[in-house]
């Protein structure tokens, strides 16, 4: 049986190959053993074909340890986090986020809707290994998988939360296009935007189990950009599979990523005197342009490792009310304890509405430095730290860039991939230097066989 490990965003793998129903059953048991069987466990999933059977498997594992579980059905990850917070429950999300339909995963929220701690995660992994090593667990008989009880009103409660976030303000008069990515927000995002009075056109809200993130949503907003221009909309939102992230598109079809949305929200909070500690938590991936924009306003950029759990930890430690990632995970501390793509989009639209400024104008405060990000599939990701020749190449590139650029290299926590990011103020330099490092990386760790 495959032995997956927790990465930066839970457990993730190929459904029915790595992430089997037996594995998820054992994970459910491990969760109950570590987090306790006396709590309510709320389960939600995105629209992947494999989600329903994995939902049943985790509920079966929890039941085996005498823990009560209820399913919220298809619901965005931040919706589950909200319900876990309100009901003092543990949340278990069945999703592989922005990955293709063939993958699936499990994210866990501790009591109250926060991400589990590193210590809890290690203990869960230990229990999971023990259960998997005890012998084959076979759930071939579908009758062995419980039909979980349902938590009624889950989606309605989340939509109400989104609408209430503007405290009675309206988005009336704004023409918005939302690309749901055939994912978990395919119903709730349009409902919330319409409930706030926006004129809404919906794209990719017809999930069939296999079209999640398929040429749409935040992983491919090109179709959204075309639609915004053709329909003369004010802005567009593109969500990923579990809707914990968003990227936006302005009226001219230009992309507005997490860095720019953070700046829009941070400057707005600062103008209102509401930016606690005058700081924003973001990751090492933040563009030089965002760093320069914050510096002009005297806003501190609190840097964290990649992963919204680290962003949230920094926010809690420093008393910050805003944090996020370039990828579009944005945490608005007064309204949520995890990244929420729909809420972030609504909040940016609210700034547009209150100020009367276009999204392009608001986002122009960030003059982004050219940045190249390569996701390089390698055969021996675990040898990255010991690849001396590769790190020598990194050092040489860094010396050449000086203070006019930077390099960041990190291994993915969930895939056999090493990510290389190069920024440079001079056009063309970032791409050239990133290619040098890609070749050096493959020489050191070998390409992943197809």
Indicate which residues carry an active-site annotation: 97
What are the C-alpha distances in Å from 380 to residues 289, 391, 444? 34, 15, 9
Q: Which residues does residue 226 pair with via DSSP β-bridges, in sequence order? A: none
Question: How many Å apart are CA 47 and CA 422, to the nearest integer?
Answer: 34
Q: Is 118 helix (H, G, I), strand (E, B) or coil?
A: helix
Secondary structure element (H or E) that encloses residue 94, with its range: strand 90-94
Question: How many Å apart are CA 95 and CA 217, to the nearest integer?
Answer: 15
Q: Which residues does residue 371 pair with via DSSP β-bridges, in sequence order? A: 423
Q: Confirm if 140 and 58 have CB atoms less than 8 A apart.
A: no
Q: What are 396's two structure tokens?
A: 């040489």
Q: Confirm if 434 and 374 have CB atoms less than 8 A apart.
A: yes
Terminal alpha carbon distance of the chain = 22
Q: Which letter does DSSP use for residue 235 in this model?
A: E
Question: How many Å apart are CA 278 and CA 54, to the nearest integer?
Answer: 43
Q: Confirm if 114 and 337 have CB atoms less than 8 A apart.
A: yes
The Cβ-side half-sphere exposure at 348, using a 13 Å CA radius, reads 33
Helix residue ranges per DSSP H, 244-387: 258-271, 288-297, 308-318, 341-355, 359-363
Question: How many Å apart are CA 169 and CA 272, to the nearest integer?
Answer: 16
Q: Which residues does 147 contact at the CB level (< 8 Å), separation at least 6?
A: 56
Question: How many Å apart are CA 309 and CA 9, to the nearest integer?
Answer: 8
Measure the CA dihedral 331/44/98/420, to 10°.
60
Sign of CA dihedral 121, 123, 127, 132: positive
Question: How many Å apart are CA 96 and CA 12, to the nearest integer?
Answer: 6
């Amino acid at each position: 049986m495959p032995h997956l490990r927790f990465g930066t965003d839970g457990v993730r793998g190929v459904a029915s190959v790595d992430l089997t129903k037996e594995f998820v059953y054992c994970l459910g048991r491990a969760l109950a053993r570590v987090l306790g069987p006396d709590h309510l466990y709320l389960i939600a999933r995105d629209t992947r074909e494999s989600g329903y059977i994995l939902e049943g498997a985790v509920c079966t594992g929890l039941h085996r340890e005498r823990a009560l579980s209820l399913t919220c059905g298809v619901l965005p990850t931040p919706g589950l986090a909200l319900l876990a917070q309100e009901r003092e429950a543990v949340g278990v999300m069945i999703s592989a986020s922005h990955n293709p339909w063939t993958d699936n995963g499990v994210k866990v929220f501790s009591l109250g809707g926060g991400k589990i701690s590193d210590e809890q995660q290690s203990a869960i992994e230990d229990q999971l290994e023990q259960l998997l090593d005890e012998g084959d667990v076979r759930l071939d008989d579908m009758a062995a998988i419980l039909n979980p009880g349902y938590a009624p009103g889950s989606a309605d409660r989340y939509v109400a939360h989104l609408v209430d976030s503007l405290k009675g303000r309206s988005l009336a008069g704004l023409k918005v296009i939302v690309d749901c990515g055939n994912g978990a927000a395919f119903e709730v995002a349009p409902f919330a935007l319409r409930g706030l009075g926006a004129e809404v056109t919906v794209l990719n809200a017809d999930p069939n189990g296999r079209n999640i993130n398929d040429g749409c949503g935040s992983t491919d907003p090109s179709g959204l950009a075309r639609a915004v221009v053709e329909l003369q909309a004010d802005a567009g939102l593109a969500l990923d599979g579990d809707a914990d992230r968003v990227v936006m598109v302005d009226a001219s079809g230009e992309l507005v990523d997490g860095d720019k949305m953070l700046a829009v929200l941070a400057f707005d909070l600062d103008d209102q005197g509401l930016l606690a500690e005058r700081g924003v938590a973001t990751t090492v991936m933040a563009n030089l342009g965002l760093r320069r924009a914050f510096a002009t306003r005297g806003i501190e950029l609190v840097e964290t490792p990649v992963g919204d759990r680290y962003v949230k930890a920094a926010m809690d430690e420093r008393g910050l009310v805003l944090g996020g990632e370039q990828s579009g995970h944005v945490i608005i501390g007064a309204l949520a304890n995890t990244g929420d793509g729909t809420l972030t989009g609504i909040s940016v639209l609210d700034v547009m509405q209150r100020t009367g400024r276009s999204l392009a104008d608001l986002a122009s405060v960030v003059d982004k430095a050219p940045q190249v990000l390569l996701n390089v599939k390698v055969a021996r990701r675990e040898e990255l730290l010991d690849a001396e020749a590769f790190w020598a190449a990194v050092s040489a590139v860094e010396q050449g860039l000086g203070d006019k650029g930077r390099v960041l290299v990190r291994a993915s926590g969930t895939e056999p991939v090493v990510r290389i990011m190069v920024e440079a103020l001079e056009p063309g330099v970032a791409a050239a230097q990133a290619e040098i490092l890609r070749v050096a990386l493959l020489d050191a760790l070998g390409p992943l066989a197809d």
